[in-house]
Every structure is written in C-alpha cells, then in structure tokens.
Structure 1
Amino acid sequence: MPTPEISRRTALRFSAVAALSAGTTVTSAVPAHAGKRRPGDELPEVPGMHGDRRANEMWYRFDDVTNFKASPELMEAYTAIAGHLGGDVESAPLRIWREMSAHPDYPHNFVERFRPLVGPLILVSRTQLGCFDRYYPRHGSGLVRAFSYFGQGVLFDPRRADVKSEVHAMNGAVPRGYHVWHVYIRAMTLLGVDRERWAAISSLNAFAWALQSVARPDLRAVNPPLPAGTVARLAARWLPRDVRRLDSDFQSFPYPAAGV
C-alpha cells in the first residue's frame, strides 16, 4: 500500500500532467511583466526580459546561490565532493555513476562511494530546495511550470548577458547538466537526504531534459515555446516516472533515446 507521501507525490505529478495538457504551462515570447506575482513580491521590472517573471527570478537566483554567488560553506561542500570523487563536481559524479550503474552491485556500490558525502550533500540539497521554496509552494504545479519553461528555453533574462547565456536553460553545446543533476538526485534519494522531495523533483529534471532535447533553444535569443500538444505529450510521458526508472533513461546521452 503506498505511503501518504508517495500518494501525494503521485497526485501532484498527475495533476501537473492535467494542467500541462490544458496548456497552462505554455508561455509565448512576451515581455516578462505579463507573469503573475504574489502579494508582497518584490520583483523589479527588468527591461528586455521575456517569459514568466517568477520563473525567471527563481532560476536567476538559483544560479547565484549555487554558482555565481555561492556561500563559502557551499564552496567548501563542492571542494569536499570533488576531492572525494577525484575530479570536479560535474564530471566526476557523472563518470562514477555511469561506471557503477552498469555493475550488478548497483546501487549498493554507488551508495557506499557517496556515503562519506552526506554532509556536503545536505548543504547542496538545502541550498537548492531553499531556492525552490522561496518562489513556489511545495505542493502545486508552479515548480513544474518553472521546469517546463526552463527546458523549453523561453526564459530570456538580460541580466545574464555577463555570462553570455541570457536564456535560463541547461548550458553547453551538449547539455550534460541534466545527467549531472540526476546523479546528485540519485545520491540524495539513496542516502536519505530530503529523499521524498528529491524523488518528486527527479521527474521534473527529466521532463526539462526531454523538452530541451526537442526545443534545442538558442541560449542568447528569445525563443518561441513548443506547441502545447508537444509539452502535454512530454509531460504525460515523463512526469509519472520514478527515480529508479530514470536511472535507465539517463543512460542515453546527451538526449533521450528515440521516441522522446
């Protein structure tokens, strides 16, 4: 019998599928001030911004707190992760996961390799979830839409001109970031670091991966949204998947296997 938390997560996924199927996630390339704001929000107008205002702000802040303006404590956590795994915080985890997930002892071997990193992973989790929670309620479709906009590449934020990537989407000619994020999510779910939260978010990461694989957005231009039917089809396909199923899906690189 499913636990109440799993039941809520399942209900959230399918309610999100329904919302996306109704077209509520599709945003046209219009100025960002068209997006809704909550009472008390302090989201200043940004000339030249396009796409949902709240999602733009959330991903902008996410980049800051996890990368550009990361706290000294988070940087120490990154250093610990890189040192333990023998590389940087992206390539090393992805390489180790690929090797270990192909072994019959997986996921036990993976758990034992990452177990010493529980402390740093707790800080990584707290930082990322704190950013999500600042802008979206835990139970609702808002975060699903934020990941949808991210994957489609329809969030144009001129404040990121300094890094030559005005569009909030996964960077890189080959966007391996979705795979890297899956590895961290897998480690956190297996080691009990905010397990239920990350189990729910795992499918959002995969959903955005699928959307970006189809949209192939220009990271320096205002991009049109995908057709509503395409978004709904991918939502129905990817949002119900659990983290164990996604272990298999993310074996495909850099994009999902045929039939995305």
Structure 2
Amino acid sequence: MAHHIGRRQTLRAALAAGLVAGVGTAGTGVARAAGPGTGGPGGQLPPVPGMLGDRLANEFWYVFDDVTLFSRAQELDDAYTAIRTYAGGLERPIIEAWADRYGQPGYPGTFRDWMAPITEQLRLVSQVQLGVVDRFYRRHDPRLVTAFAGFGQGTLYDPRRPVDALLVHTMNGEAGYHAWHVYARAMALLGIDRRRWEEIGPLVGFAWALQSIAKPSTHLPNPPLPPRTVLRQAAYWLPRSLERQDADFLSYPYPQGVS
C-alpha cells in the first residue's frame, strides 16, 4: 500500500513542530491550564517547588508511570505476568520476535498471529495507557506532542519522583522505545484501539530520536536541544506511520545517522 502524506497531515505536523520548538526553555512551576479530567481545581495544576519543564507534561508522565509501573493495579500486573510468561519477557523477546518476522514472507500477519494469544492482555495495557492520555489530553492535542518532546529531551525534572536516580521523566533503558513501538504495532494489527495507536506511534519515534540525540541524564536537569534540531525531527517523525516506522526501528539503539 502506498504511503501518502496528505496536506492536512503535513500542516498538523508543522503546527505541532512549532509548539515543540521551545520545549524546555523555561521552568514552569507556576500552575497552568490542564487537560480534560485532570482533577486539578478549576483545571489548574498546583506549582511544585523545584520542578522544571512543562507543568502539564510533568503531571502526565508522573501519573503515567504511577499507573503503569510504581502503583499499578493487580489486574495490570497479572497482564504483565501473562505476557512475560508467553513471550519470555516484556521487552527484548517481543522486540526480537517482531524483528525476526519483519521482512519475511507473510509479515505483518505472521507477527500479528504470534501476538494473538495475548490479545486480551494487550487490550488491558492499551486501556490503561490510553486512559492516562485521555485524562490529560484531547484527541489530536498538540500539547501531547510537547509532552513527548520534553520526555525525549529529558527537560521534565520532577522532584516528586519516588526514585532519586529517576527524577527526570525520560525513557530509562535503551530498549524502551523499541518495545513501545512493537507493542503499538501489535495492538494496531490486532484491532486494539487501532486509530489511537496509529496517532501515538509517531510520537514514540519522535521522542526516541530526540532522546538519542540529547542522551539526557535521568537524575539531573537537562538543557533543551536547539529548536532547529527539534523541528527537524518533528518534520520527519510526526507524519510517519507505524508501518513506515518499522524500518526505522530496525536500527538499534539509535536511529540511523545518530551515534
């Protein structure tokens, strides 16, 4: 199937790119308007002493990690256990299963079929992750691009984090972005919130590219990348479909051209 970037998609990417260009240029401990359903009084988030970076993005990733990792429900923990038992792990074995099938006859159907036995567990993972996204951002909200840009650059410093070595909201571990892409690819192929993962998938690649360039500290404040660098990566990644990203994510640990 031919991949075509329509005018509307290109304009949306350009708008988001403009918003992310200045990410991380100022600490935002002052309260700012939050997304729908955040629970903040009057849609406002209280200031946090010592916090750096976009206030809403910090809150989003703080809650995301709390719900999916630090304080996850037993139901989600059981789903992780089932996935780990089936695949042999939550990250590398699933990445390897995808990579082994990519480019071979029958792909992507062969990968979809391999992931099919854990469909219900993937459905729960999708429900939990998208539930946090929807708590803070509307569909097609450019501020979500800002959140992923700050995450990739490591400009979101949050003193509330429960682990001192991880005071920065950013990916911890080289395989994380690859695993997230592969999960998103599988969920889309299995018809689990397909359109949502087709929308979020480009943001995962975008954040991966920014983090690969910035190589941020996970425990110290990080300066933002030059706006030109962020804009260049936004222009490449934001219009890029999950299917087209498959080839990108064959490169490990960084995108081609980044060392």
Contact 2:213 2:258 (8 Å CA) reproduced? no
Query: Is the alpha carbon distance of 1:22 and 1:170 closer, same or farther for their aligned partners in structure 2, counting shifts above 3 Å?
Result: closer
Residues 131 and 10 from structure 1, CA distance in 2 versus in 1: closer, same or farther, beyond 3 angstroms?
Answer: farther
Summarize the Cα distance change of 1:255–1:64 in structure 2 as closer, same or farther, 3 Å threshold. Answer: same
Give 1:32-181 correspondences, 5 Å limit.
Answer: 32-33=29-30, 35-37=32-34, 40-41=42-43, 43-85=45-87, 87-160=88-161, 162-172=163-173, 175-181=174-180
Q: Which residue of 1 aligns with 2:38?
A: none
CA distance in structure 1 between the partners assigned to 2:9 and 2:215 by the alignment: 27
Does the C-alpha gap of structure 1 residues 27 and 66 become closer, same or farther in structure 2, counting only changes over 3 Å? Answer: same
* Correspondence 1:14 to 2:11: yes
Check conservation: 1:215, 1:226, Cα contact below 8 A.
Answer: yes
Q: Name the SS of the counterpart of 2:163 in structure 1.
A: helix
Question: TM-score normalized by structure 2?
Answer: 0.89
Aligned to 2:213: 214
Partner Cα distance (1:177, 1:52) in 2: 22
Give the Cα–Cα distance (whole angstroms) in 2 for the partners of residues 145 and 10 of structure 1. Answer: 22
Distance 1:238 1:23, change over 3 A: closer
Q: Is 1:223 matched with 2:253?
A: no
Q: Which secondary structure does the structure 2 equivalent of 1:33 belong to? A: coil
Task: Summarize deviations over 1:61-94 as a string: whole Å, max 9, x none.
Answer: 1001111111111111111111121x12112211
* Paired AA for residue 80 in structure 2: Y
2: CA distance between counterparts of 1:152 and 1:13? 23
- Cα distance, 1:10 vs. partner? 7.5
Contact 2:31 / 2:46 at 8 angstroms: preserved in 1? no
Deviations 1:132-180 (A, max 9, x none): 11011112201111111111110001122525111101112xx210000
Q: Secondary structure at the match of 1:32?
A: coil
Partner of 1:27 in structure 2?
A: 24
1: distance between equivalents of 2:33 and 2:44?
12
State whether residues 30 and 46 of structure 2, in contact with CA within 8 Å, keep that contact through their aligned partners in structure 1. Answer: no
**Preserved contact between residue 35 and residue 52 of structure 1 (Cα < 8 Å):** no
> Which residue in the other structure is 1:203 paired with?
202
The whole-number CA distance in structure 1 between the counterparts of 2:61 and 2:115 is 27
CA distance in 2, matches of 1:13, 1:129: 24
- TM-score between both structures, scaled by the size of structure 1: 0.89
C-alpha RMSD of the superposition: 2.4
Q: Percent identity?
A: 48
Whole-Å Cα distance in 2 between the matches of residues 16 and 137 of structure 1?
16
| TM-superposed deviation, 1:17 | 2.4
Q: Please report how far the alpha carbon of residue 102 of structure 1 lies from its aligned counterpart in structure 2 after TM superposition.
A: 4.2
Aligned residues: 252
Contact kept in structure 1, 2:20 and 2:146, CA below 8 Å: no
Contact 1:50–1:222 under 8 Å retained in 2 = yes
Q: How far apart are the structure 2 equivalents of 1:192 and 1:220?
A: 38
Name the CA shift for 1:126/1:51 in 2 (closer, same or farther; >3 Å). same
- Number of the residue aligned with 2:251: 252
Answer whether contact 1:29 1:222 (CA < 8 A) is retained: no
**Unmatched segments (≥5 aa) in structure 2:** 36-40
Letter in 2 for 1:17: A
Whether the aligned pair in 2 keeps the contact of 1:25 and 1:149 (CA below 8 Å) is no
Which 5+ residue runs of structure 1 have no aligned equivalent? none
